[in-house]
Amino acid sequence: MEEKIKCRKCGREIEREAFLLNLRVCPYCNDHTILGSMDRILITADEGSFREFSRDMKSVDFLKFFDLKSYKERLMEAKLKTGLNEAIVTGEAKIGGHPVALGVMDFGFMGGSMGSVVGEKIRRLCDFSIKKVVPLIIFASSGGARMQEGIMSLMQMAKTVSAVNRVREKKIPYFCIITYPTSGGVSASFATIADIIISEPGALFCFAGPRVVSQTIKKEIPPDFGLAERNLKNGQVDMIAGRKEIRDTLARLIRLFSS
């Protein structure tokens, strides 16, 4: 029997193969679910154009951090689950024939959390963007800073912002694509300072999640709190683009910015 997946938003059942062929988007309600870095690169970059940077850079458990499990164990699990060494994949690619510096976060790797390696990979990506004078494009997907690295993870907010600002000072365009979910330290740093912020439909983009905000202020919050469509209305994002149109959207923006 064909395996089925239940949509978390509309609750309808989707055949697994149809769901995958539809790029993990629900065909009934257009819910854009979490997509891994490599799949996203495959559907965004021109075929065969992606060349990865710093693939072997790995996080170090310098605090010997232990919550329910050790940080070392969590890193190992994340690696086995995703096949990646860290929560962001960076490299050079072409989109619609235009060379770009591309970074894609992966929520499957410890909730896309930003630690020292994510920060350093973004910095190096920015350096590449400046050196080659090519647009900087980052897909965000993150629960925030990586608590297992303590204050070092918080320092990545300042580090990534200053790296991105150097790109912007050179008048090189920077586009950030918000995907479900983007919150915490990533929302509060490099994701929010792009020239154009594009959101996937329905993507949650906030600092603290709706439940935390509701508990803190002890009030009901609107059901569309932090969602793409509300963020667009309030000016928090500039445009909404679905997964199938993202390559063309980015190519169009690059053309517009370079003319």
Residue of 15, 20, 28, 256 that binds Zn ion (CB under 5 A): 28
Rule CB under 5 A: is residue 26 a binding residue for Zn ion?
Answer: yes
Residue of 10, 18, 43, 256 that binds Zn ion (CB under 5 A): 10
| Nearer to Zn ion (CB atom), residue 29 or residue 152 | 29
Residue of 19, 25, 31, 113 that binds Zn ion (CB under 5 A): 31
**Which range, of 22-30, 55-63, 64-72, 158-166, touches Zn ion by CB under 5 A?**
22-30
> If we measure between CA atoms, which residue out of 34, 41, 38, 77 comes closest to residue 59?
77
Residue of 9, 124, 230, 247 that binds Zn ion (CB under 5 A): 9
Rounded alpha-carbon distances, angstroms, from residue 133 to 32, 125, 173, 174, 201: 32, 12, 9, 11, 30
| Nearer to Zn ion (CB atom), residue 10 or residue 239 | 10
| Nearer to Zn ion (CB atom), residue 30 or residue 236 | 30
Instruction: Answer for the pair 44, 254: CB distance below 8 angstroms, yes or no.
Output: no
* Rounded CA separation 105/189 (Å): 14
| Nearer to Zn ion (CB atom), residue 27 or residue 209 | 27
Residue showing tokens 């580090």: 159
Residue showing tokens 């490599």: 38
Residues 6+ apart with CB under 8 A from 28: 7, 10, 12, 14
Instruction: List residues near Zn ion by CB under 5 A.
Output: 7, 9-10, 26, 28-29, 31
